[in-house]
Amino acid sequence: MKKTFGAFVLTSVLLLVACSTETEQKEDNLVTLQENHVPFELAIPSHFPDMVIPKDNPLTVAKVELGKQLFFDPSLSVDGSVSCASCHLPSKAFSDVLAVSQGVKGAVTERNSPSLMNIGFHPIFMREGAVPTLELQVLSPLEGETEMAHNIVLACERLNQDSTYRARFQEVFGQSATPFTLTRAIAAYERTLIGGDAPFDAYLLGDSTALTPLQQQGYALFTSDRLACSSCHSGVLLSSFALEHNGLKPRDTDPGLMRLTLNEADRGKFKVPSLRNIALTAPYMHDGRFASLEAVIEHYNKGGDGVTNQDERIRSLSLQEDEKEALLAFFDALTEASGKGE
Amino acid sequence: MQLKQTYQWITGLTLVAALVALTSFSGCGNGGPIDPPKPPDVAEITLSFDLENGSEELAFQAPFTDVMGYQHRLLTLKFYLSNLVLVKADGSTEEVDEVVLFDYKPIDPSLNNPQWTREVSFTLPSGDYTGIQFGVGIPADINDEDPTTYANEDPLSAFSNMYWNWATMYRFIILEAESDTGTGSFDHDILIHTGLDDLYRTSPVYPISLSLASGDQAALTLSLDWNDIWYAEGASILLKEEHITHTTDTQEDFDLASRFTDNFVAGLKINQE
């Protein structure tokens, strides 16, 4: 009977070990999958804030490479004519040269294409700021009727018909292209679009010669109480990322934040854009109405269009010509080498 | 003595084999008492949706004339029901589905993709049921879910085309039609997209009378009269002028979406077959 009991104990132990081994095996697979992937080390400048990386989307070299390939692939659009990069040109700090971009079949979008440089540091996305993550943001252009006009599931099906893509998704995610993996890959790539190498950055890091005297004058004006540009375009990223009304007269039916809140007080409010690479990203404003930075400065100089909901900080500035030149010179100093596609 | 030891060893092996067999049935990590499987004590209910024009069932894309004399062709009608519960005779409730998506469009057999229909089925414990209740739309606690985390077949997946990407929330009802409001051609688009937490509505408890034994199948029909959507007493919609809303954008859009939603929900009826 002792032996019977012994056999029982032995078997129980063996079964427990078997169960434990099975569980550990699953965990091992997960760990192995992750360990096989080389983490992507973001080159975040020392004076930049930390970047929040979602737990469900750790950066790996392979994932970023896949995301980059997808970003430049027009097959994500319904007719294969438009990629993300069509409206986010690397040489223009990942913005567009058109007032409002063109989607598939000549469709015209409603808004100016924003720069994607340093986009991983933004806390909210889209002009009315309703999208909380880069992953979810991917859905908007991909499925937008005037942009890529696709359905993300069908876009994934198309990708999975390509043996190369199928293998790459399998390698990166251990599964095929799905709405989850596709959005994670593109967002991962977008998080790597980091600048921080503009003359302005060198100046912030202590190189007092990085800005010309005129640029330094422009910077002083920019941050002065009189102009108060930096009250909205604040911090190292030159944006508060708040939703503000910058005094633009409504031109179309785009109500900005009010689209989301239905509050009349939010009509015309849009996310404050970062001014990094601003010299590269013409035309300007949410609808691309201004072709040049001179026109932008003039808008603020006159105190905006004097419209309902206009922020009280938008007021007449009485800028002298040399001050306008100084501001323009300062804006040039915000151009990152990586924003020019270098 | 040797025989006794052999006997004990065989007995031990038998016990071990029995233990292994039982453990295999129960599966690792699922502990607890091992009972022989019982047939599930459940019944099945099919809930189908009918859109009507007066007393006639409305056919998808086929022209029809409403009570105002306007002609329409229905192009899209999709909507969510959520928190679907059946009320038991003792007043307690049985939740049968968290989210259901109805799509009035007929199945396209040429497509291999997930498709939603005018009919859903669900199982529930046998018993006596006296009512059914649901929400129209997606409740706030899951309205901000990430659609890419759902399988394609799930009503909350990106594939359902019900997600408002820019707002990161779901549309609740999509109704699209083309109409002839007196011009002689179908040149008047109806485009109604409702959403936002404020437009989530909970239905009344519709009375039913179902005594379901194990294995029973029952059918309920959710019906809606097109005319009740637009010409409800006290909340009429002037279809000539009020025919497009995305709920957001303007207060007028929201007001129209709100009236549409209220009429839609108020017009729903449950019929028991």
Q: What is the CATH number of the domain that holds A326?
A: 1.10.760.10
Q: Does the residue A279 lie in any domain?
A: yes
Q: Does the residue A232 lie in any domain?
A: yes
> Are residues B21 and A11 in contact, defined by beta-carbon separation less than 8 angstroms?
no
Structural domain boundaries enclosing A240: 199-340
Let me know whether A186 and A212 are in one domain: no
* CA A314/CA A228 separation, integer angstroms: 9
Looking at residue A118, its amino acid is N
CA B84 to chain centre: 8
Active site residue A147: yes
The answer to whether the Cβ–Cβ distance between B12 and A3 falls below 8 Å is yes
Let me know whether A149 and A213 are in one domain: no
Mean pLDDT to the nearest integer, A217-228 = 97
Q: Which of A8, A22, A153 lies at the smallest CB-CB distance from B159?
A: A153
What lies within 8 Å, CB to CB, of A152 at 6+ separation is: A139, A142, A143, A179, A182, A183, B148, B158, B159
Q: Does the residue A54 lie in any domain?
A: no
Q: Which of B12, B166, B250 lies at the smallest CB-CB distance from A131?
A: B166
* CA A56/CA A284 separation, integer angstroms: 35
Let me know whether A186 and A231 are in one domain: no
Let me know whether A253 and A313 are in one domain: yes
The answer to whether the Cβ–Cβ distance between B11 and A4 falls below 8 Å is yes
> pLDDT tens-digit profile of B233-244?
888 899 989 999
| Residue in A with minimal Cα distance to B164 | A140
DSSP state of B103: E
Q: Is B194 on the interface with A (CB under 8 A)?
A: no
* Set of chain B residues whose Cβ sits within 8 Å of the Cβ of A135: 146, 148
**Nearest CA to CA, how far is B178 from chain A (Å)?**
19
Interface of B with A in 82-141 (CB under 8 A): 113
The answer to whether the Cβ–Cβ distance between B147 and A264 falls below 8 Å is no
Domain spans in chain B, listed from the N-terminal domain onward: 1-37, 43-272
Domain boundary (A162, A190, A218) is at: A190
Domain boundary (A190, A213, A235) is at: A190
Mean pLDDT to the nearest integer, A152-166 = 95
**pLDDT tier, A34 (very low <50, low <70, confident <90, very high otherwise):** low
Query: Terminal CA-to-CA distance of chain B, rounded, Å?
Result: 75
Q: Does the residue A94 lie in any domain?
A: yes
- Give the residue carrying structure tokens 């026109």: A295
Quick check: helix, strand or coil at residue B159?
helix
Q: Does the residue A141 lie in any domain?
A: yes
Pick among B148, B150, B156, B246 to test the A interface (most A CBs inside 10 A): B148
Residue B86, token pair as written in the block? 């059946």
Give the Å distances, CA to CA, from B57 to A37, A307, B11, B50, B54: 57, 51, 71, 7, 8
Domain boundary (A143, A165, A190) is at: A190
Question: What backbone torsions phi and psi does residue B251 show, to the nearest 5 degrees?
Answer: -65, -35
Let me know whether A94 and A169 are in one domain: yes
Let me know whether A100 and A207 are in one domain: no
Mean pLDDT to the nearest integer, A210-222 = 98
* CA B160/CA B162 separation, integer angstroms: 5
The answer to whether the Cβ–Cβ distance between B165 and A135 falls below 8 Å is no
* Set of chain B residues whose Cβ sits within 8 Å of the Cβ of A24: none
Q: Is the pLDDT of residue A31 over 70?
A: no
Query: Which of A128, A135, A147, A244 does the annotation list as catalytic?
Result: A147
- Residue B187's Cβ-count burial label (10 Å; 0-12, 13-18, 19+) is exposed
> pLDDT tens-digit profile of B42-53?
999 999 999 999
- Mean pLDDT, all residues of chain A: 90
DSSP state of A23: H
Q: Which of B19, B168, B250 lies at the smallest CB-CB distance from A136?
A: B168
Let me know whether A334 and A209 are in one domain: yes
> pLDDT tens-digit profile of B225-272?
999 999 998 888 999 899 999 998 788 899 999 999 999 999 999 999
Mean pLDDT to the nearest integer, B166-172 = 95
- Residue A175's Cβ-count burial label (10 Å; 0-12, 13-18, 19+) is exposed
Q: Does the residue A1 lie in any domain?
A: no
Q: Which of B13, B28, B148 lies at the smallest CB-CB distance from A183?
A: B148
Higher-scoring residue by pLDDT: A49, B252: A49
